[in-house]
Amino acid sequence: MSGSQAATPWMKRSANPKLDRVMVTPEGVPLNVTIAPAGARVGALLLDLVMIQLISMFIALLCIVLAIPFLDGETDFQNLDGPLGLIAVFYLIASFLLLNGYFIFFELGYKSATWGKRAVGIRVASRDGSRLTAEAVIARNIVRSVELFLPLTFLDSVEAGGSLVDLTAWAGLLWLLMFMLFPLFNKDRLRGGDVIAGTWVIQDVKKNLGDIVAPSALAPEGAAPAASYQFSDEDLSVYGEYELQTLENVLRGDQEEALEKVAAAICQKIGWEPGSGDERIFLEAYYTALRARLERSMRFGRRRKDKFSAEEQAGG
Amino acid sequence: MSNEQALNAAVLRSDRFRLEREADWIRLEAIVTRMEKGQARLLSDEDVLALPTLYRTLLSSLSIARENSLDAGLIDYLEGLALRSYFMVYGTQSSFRRWLGSFFGGGWSRAVRAIQFDIWVALLVMIAGAVIGYILVAGDSDWFYALVPADFMDVRVPGASEEALRGTLFGAQEEGGLAVFAAFLFSNNAQVALLAFALGFAFAIPSILLLIHNMALLGAMLWVFAQRGLTVDFVGWLSIHGTTELFAILLAGAAGIHVGRSIAFPGAQSHLKAASDAGKRAALVMAGVIFMLICAGLLEGFARQMIDNTIARFGVGGGMLLLWLIYFFGFGREGRRPDA
C-alpha cells in the first residue's frame, strides 16, 4: 500500500495525500483509489436519512389514503381486521424493510452506492480489491442499526422527561459520538460496519476524455501555424513534467487571460520577445515541443519532475 | 479532419497512441455507463462479451500511458475508467435470485455450521439467563416487575389465579388483528436480533447481556406459570413459535459472539482481517435469522391462536425445531462419501 513517490511516478497526488491508496487488480495492474473524506461520508448519510424520512412519510400517507374508505366511528385500533388489518401489516413490514433494507438494496446494485452516496460521488468497495459480496454489504449495514438507529431512540426518549431519561439521552449522545467519530481515528476512514464487513468507501471517479491538448500540432506538416515556432534545446530544458502539466491545464481551460500570462512568463524565461495575438498557437507549439522532449527522455528511463530537479535515471 | 489524417499528422507519439485506441476506450465507457445506470439488459451480446477484453486492453493502455505519456488529462481519464470498469467486471454480479439460490442451497447452513462453537456458547448463556430469571423471581417476586416490561404483564403477574393464566394460554382470542400482531412481533423481534448481532462489535459482551436479559424475562414468566402447575401448558404455548423464534435469537446472539470473539482474539490474522472474515460469515447467518423470524411471526400470529391444545402445539413446535436442525446439520455438506 505504500511506495515512494520517486519509485512510482504514476502514483496520484490528490488534495489530501493521506487518503491516497493503491489497489492492485487481479491482473496485477495497480490502480489509484482515494478514500472518501469524512465530510463526504457525513453528507451522504444525511442525504440518505432525509430520503428515508421522505419515503416513510410517503408510505404513511399512502396507508392513510388507502384506509380512509374503511374508517368509521367504531374502528377498534387494538384489533384491526380485514382490509384495515392488511394495511396495518403492510405499513409495519414496509417500515421495517425501509429502515433495514434501503442501504443494503442500493449498495448491492451496480453502483455500490445509495442515493446519498451517488450524489456526493462515493461508493463502497471491498478493502482487498476482491469482489464486493452480498454478505459484506449486509454486514456493514446491520451494524449501522447499533451505530445510528439505537442511540437515536435513546435521544427520542428525552420528551418523556425525568432525570433518568436525561441520563439515557446523554448516554445515547455519547454512544452516537463514539461511533460517528470512529472513522476519524483510523487512516482508512472505516466506520464500525466497514471493519466488520471488510469494506471501505472510496471516491468514485468520473473523468471525461478531453480533446488532444494541442490540436494545432495535428495539422499537416508545414501548414501548421505552430510550425513557424522553432525551439532550441535550451529553450526546452528550463521546465519539467510539473510545469508541462500546468501548461496542459491552462490550454485545456482556454482562458484568454491565463494564456497571456503564461505566454509572457515563458517568453521571459527563455528570453524571447513576447508577441501578442496568437498566444494560444505559441503555447501549443511550446507545449508540443516540450512534451516531445520529455517523453523522449522518458522512453530512455529519465524523468524530470519539475524545473528545480535534474533528470533522474530510473532505478539509479 | 478524419481520424486517419489526424493519426498521420500527430507529432507526438503519445498522441498517436491515444488516437489509435480511443475508439475502444469510448466503447468501453459507453458499456460501463450503461451498466452503472442499471441498464445492463439493454446491452447487445457483442458488448457483453467484449467487456472483459476491452477492460484488459484498457489496463494495458493505462500501463503504457503511465510509462510513455505526459498527457495528465489522458492518464486521469484512463485511471478513472479503469477503476469504473474494474468494478463492473469484478462487481457484485450475482443477481439477487442467484444469491438467494446459493443461500438456501447450502450457503446459510454452512455458515451456521461454521459458527458452531459460538452457538454452543450462546445456548449456554441463554439457558443461564432463563435459570437466573426463574431463580430471581422465585426468591423474591418483586424481581418480576423489574425484569418484565409493563406491556407484557396484563394478568400474567405473580400471584395471578390459575383461571386467569389458563385464559392467556387457551382463551383463543377472537380472530381479529392476528396478522397485525404477527407483523408487529416480527419487526420487533427482528430489531432485537439485529441488535444482538451488531453489538458483537463491542467484544460480544453486550450481545451476551442482551441474551441473558431476554431469557431472564422468559424464566420469570415460566415461574409465574409454574406456581399454578401450568408449566407444561405454558411451554407448549411457547413452543409453537418459540422453537423457531428462540432458535433465531440464539443464532443472532451466536453471530454477535462470533464477531466479538474474532475481534478480541484474532489468532494468526490481523485484527481487521479476522473481524471482516467473521463479519461476512455472521452476516450470512443473520440473513437467515430474518427469514426464521418471518416464519416465527407467522406461527405466532396465526398457528398459536388457532391450535388450542398442548399436544398439537408441542407437535408443531417440535416439528419446526426438527426441520431447522435437519436443515442446518444435514444440508449443503460437501464431499460426503456415501460409504463414510
Least confident of A32-36, A188-192, A241-245, B317-321: A241-245
Chain B interface mutation, best of A209, A229, A252, A299, highest count of B Cβ atoms under 10 Å: A209
Chain B interface mutation, best of A20, A112, A187, A196, highest count of B Cβ atoms under 10 Å: A196
Answer yes or no: do A245 and B72 touch at CB < 8 A.
Answer: yes
Answer yes or no: do A142 and B93 touch at CB < 8 A.
Answer: no
pLDDT of A7 = 46
pLDDT at A60 over 60: yes
At how many degrees (to 10) do helices A38-67 and A82-107 cross?
Answer: 160
The candidate with the shortest Cα–Cα distance to A42, out of A120, A149, A127, is: A120
Query: A160 and chain B: CB distance < 8 Å anywhere?
Result: no
Query: A79 and chain B: CB distance < 8 Å anywhere?
Result: yes
| pLDDT tier, A51 (very low <50, low <70, confident <90, very high otherwise) | very high
Mean pLDDT of chain B: 83
pLDDT of A2 = 40
pLDDT of A4 = 40
pLDDT of A156 = 67
Cα distances (angstroms) measured from residue A269 to each of A232, A234, A260, A313:
13, 11, 14, 26
C-alpha gyration radius of chain A: 30
Q: Cα separation of A240 and A9, whole Å? A: 13
Mean of pLDDT values over A36-55: 93
Cα angle A119, B90, B277 (rounded to 5 degrees) comes to 90
Q: Look up residue B4 and give its three cell numbers.
A: 486517419
Chain B positions touching A199 (Cβ under 8 A) are: 276
Question: Tens digits of per-residue pLDDT, A71-121?
Answer: 776 666 655 666 777 888 888 888 888 988 899 888 888 888 999 999 999
Whether A70 and A84 have beta carbons less than 8 Å apart is answered as yes
Question: Tens digits of per-residue pLDDT, B22-34?
Answer: 899 999 999 999 8
Chain B positions touching A311 (Cβ under 8 A) are: none
- The amino acid that residue A288 corresponds to is T
| pLDDT tier, A283 (very low <50, low <70, confident <90, very high otherwise) | confident
Which tops the pLDDT comparison, B71 or A3? B71
Written as one string, the DSSP assignment of A195-245 is: HHHTEEEEE---------S-GGGGSPTTT-GGGG----HHHHTT--HHHHH
Query: A10 and chain B: CB distance < 8 Å anywhere?
Result: yes
pLDDT at A250 over 80: yes
Smallest CA–CA separation between A210 and chain B, in Å? 7
Q: Look up residue A4 and give its three cell numbers.
A: 515512494
Task: Count Cα neighbours of A197 within 13 Å in the Cβ-side half-sphere.
Answer: 30
The candidate with the shortest Cα–Cα distance to A138, out of B38, B110, B257, B285, is: B285
Q: Look up residue B7 and give its three cell numbers.
A: 493519426
Whether B259 and A138 have beta carbons less than 8 Å apart is answered as no
C-alpha gyration radius of chain B: 30
Answer yes or no: do B18 and A212 touch at CB < 8 A.
Answer: yes
Question: Tens digits of per-residue pLDDT, B108-125?
Answer: 999 999 999 999 999 999
Question: Tens digits of per-residue pLDDT, A202-237?
Answer: 998 888 887 777 776 555 554 555 556 777 777 777
Kind and range of the H or E run holding A171: helix A163-181
Cβ contacts of B20 within 8 Å, gap of 6 or more: B7
- The amino acid that residue B165 corresponds to is L
Whether B141 and B159 have beta carbons less than 8 Å apart is answered as yes
Q: Give the A window 21-60 contacts with B, CB below 8 Å.
A: 25-27, 29, 31-33
Cα angle A142, A144, A145 (rounded to 5 degrees) comes to 75
pLDDT of A158 = 57
Neighbours of A203 (CB within 10 A): 18
Whether B192 and B210 have beta carbons less than 8 Å apart is answered as yes
pLDDT of B125 = 94
E strand intervals along chain A: 20-24, 30-34, 122-126, 199-203, 302-303, 312-313
By C-alpha distance, the chain B residue nearest A314 is B67
Cα distances (angstroms) measured from residue B113 to each of A4, B220, B250:
45, 31, 13
Residue with cell 384506509: A67
Chain A positions touching B176 (Cβ under 8 A) are: 76, 79-81, 85
pLDDT of B177 = 61
pLDDT at A163 over 80: no
Answer yes or no: do A31 and B1 touch at CB < 8 A.
Answer: no
Give the closest of B68, B87, B175 to A112, CB-based: B87
Chain A positions touching B305 (Cβ under 8 A) are: none
Tens place of pLDDT for every residue, chain B, 340 residues? Answer: 556 666 666 667 888 888 889 899 999 999 999 888 878 788 888 888 899 999 999 999 999 888 888 888 888 899 999 999 998 888 765 667 787 888 888 889 999 999 999 999 999 999 999 999 999 999 888 888 877 776 655 667 777 777 777 777 776 554 456 677 777 777 777 877 888 888 887 778 888 888 898 888 888 888 888 888 888 888 888 888 889 989 999 999 999 999 999 888 888 888 888 888 898 899 999 989 988 988 888 887 777 767 778 888 899 899 999 999 999 988 777 644 444 3
Q: Cα separation of B33 and A123, whole Å? A: 15
Q: Cα separation of A296 and B202, whole Å? A: 58
